[in-house]
Chain A
Amino acid sequence: MSAFWTLLKRDLLLAMREGSAVGTALGFYLIVVALLPLGLGPDLNLLSRIAPGILWIALLLAALLSLGRLFEADDEDGSLEVMALGEMPLEIVAVAKALAHWLSTGIPLVLAAPVLAILLNLDINAYGVLVLSLLIGTPAISFLGLIGAALTLRAKKGGLLLALLVLPLYVPTLIFGISAINAALSGFGGFYASLMILGAISMGAVVLGPIASAAALRFQMQ
């Protein structure tokens, strides 16, 4: 277990020192959301109607930007091979890396969402559910992203391929994330069901992502 914490601590420290991943993701999120009202015009009703979808989709794309580096940096400098020789299985290594990604990129994006929601005139009643749905849904982004990051590890210019592989996997998270916010907006309650499904998807991803990505990594290291 202590190898796990060591790795998690190192990855968070690296994310803090290098800082470019979270900076790029936050910048991208801000730009996409800020450009949208400029393109659609100042129709506040329209903006607040599409706000949940925009906030979720832009967050997915922003998180996607940083996924490629998940294993790449460790592969380039040889750390990944050394880690594979540790007593900790690669599956747990993958868990640590995804957890570090979620803490260092996912959480900042979730915290940025309510601020950006102001730009889109989101109904004030939906803010709580927006943050909650993102918080519950984003682990799935990091843990399913592991699979794509491991599969495209040594592919040159694998960024686009990564998006093609991973974005379809995000569809359930996207659907239930937005439906939770819409349920809150409709005022009838009932967003709990969506949040629970969102949580189930995330938990499934936490189990599946590491197993699949470790298998892919073993193959990549051959």
Chain B
Amino acid sequence: MLLTVKSLVVDRGDRRIIDDLSFSLRAGETLTLLGPNGVGKTTLIRALAGFLAHQSGEILLEGPGLDEEKPVGESCHYVGHANGMKSSLTVIENLSFWSHYFGSERRLGKETNTCDDENTQPFEQSLRVALEQFDLFELADIPAGYLSAGQKRRLGLARLLVSKRPLWLLDEPTVSLDQASVMLLGEAVKAHVAGGGLVVAATHIPLGLENTRELLLASRSVVA
């Protein structure tokens, strides 16, 4: 698994935010984006996810089992400023929705001959793992709207675990998390990386990881 970014240029309006950026990230590595506010960390992450068109350059994700034609966005989990959870659904309903939304199609394609019981098993398994990892087990039946900001954030992060995708794009994942929850996130990232995943995170709070590379985005105000 290899993420390659080659001379990436991203404009927002007529302002050039990212100018000729190149880096590569191998399986098992974490890239932390550093730099002052407004330097383009979110822009870079959104460009990687495919929300923002880039003016020139390439973003490639290569690896076994990955279709090169497929957009990079379909191989990544994106956690942005919003959590993507419905406040009138319970914690478990929210997670189960995303698990079915992301997981089912690939599973149907590969294991068409398995019976129904076995098909439902992976969902419940991954849901349990996600709940346990982010300490949400006791909150499972509570509507997401009643959770505190930190609990909501943990729920948003739990989405990372309900379906398997190689690249995690985390934009300020530690916002409103307490110390213990930051540790939980660190463990989840560590496990993902150990399993051959890739992580790109913009964060000011160290997640307590080894094998982390840092990318310092420098401020520039070049007008195109």
Contact surface of A with B, Cβ cutoff 8 Å = 1-3, 6-7, 10, 13-14, 17-18, 73, 76-79, 81-88, 221-222
5 contacts between A and B (CB under 8 A): A10-B89, A78-B83, A81-B51, A85-B74, A87-B106
**Which residues of chain B in 93-108 are interfacial with respect to chain A, using CB atoms and an 8 Å cutoff?**
93, 97-98, 100-102, 104-106, 108
Is there an interface contact between B73 and A88, defined as CB atoms closer than 8 Å? no
Q: How far is the CA of A153 from the CA of B101 in the complex (A)?
A: 23
B85 adjacent to chain A (CB < 8 Å): yes
Q: How far is the CA of A88 from the CA of B108 in the complex (A)?
A: 14
Given A82-B78, A85-B73, also A221-B85 (CB < 8 A): no
> Which residues of chain A are near B83, meaning CB under 8 Å?
77-78
Q: How far is the CA of A76 from the CA of B85 in the complex (A)?
A: 10
0/1 interface trace, chain B 38-66, chain A, CB 8 Å (1 if under): 00000000000111110000000000000
**Which residue on chain A has the smallest CB distance to residue B108?**
A2
How many of B's residues come within 8 Å of A, CB to CB? 32
Is there an interface contact between B104 and A6, defined as CB atoms closer than 8 Å? yes
Q: How far is the CA of A88 from the CA of B84 in the complex (A)?
A: 17
**Which residue on chain B has the smallest CB distance to residue A3?**
B101
Secondary structure class of chain A's binding surface, majority of residues: helix
Selected from B52, B74, B85, B87, the residue in CB contact (under 8 A) with A86 is B74
Given A6-B101, A79-B86, also A87-B80 (CB < 8 A): no
Is there an interface contact between A77 and B86, defined as CB atoms closer than 8 Å? yes
Q: How close is A153's CB to chain B, nearest CB, in angstroms?
A: 14
> Which residues of chain A are near B53, meaning CB under 8 Å?
222
Selected from B50, B51, B84, B100, the residue in CB contact (under 8 A) with A79 is B84
> Which residues of chain B are near A1, meaning CB under 8 Å?
105
> Which residues of chain B are near A83, meaning CB under 8 Å?
101
Q: How far is the CA of A17 from the CA of B85 in the complex (A)?
A: 15
B192 adjacent to chain A (CB < 8 Å): no
Q: How far is the CA of A79 from the CA of B74 in the complex (A)?
A: 15
B190 adjacent to chain A (CB < 8 Å): no
Q: How far is the CA of A86 from the CA of B98 in the complex (A)?
A: 10
Q: How close is A15's CB to chain B, nearest CB, in angstroms?
A: 10
B88 adjacent to chain A (CB < 8 Å): yes
Is there an interface contact between B81 and A82, defined as CB atoms closer than 8 Å? no
Q: How far is the CA of A6 from the CA of B105 in the complex (A)?
A: 11
Q: How far is the CA of A18 from the CA of B108 in the complex (A)?
A: 32
Which 4 A-B pairs have CB atoms at the shortest separation, nearest pair first? A78-B82, A78-B84, A6-B100, A2-B104
> Which residues of chain B are near A2, meaning CB under 8 Å?
100, 104-105, 108
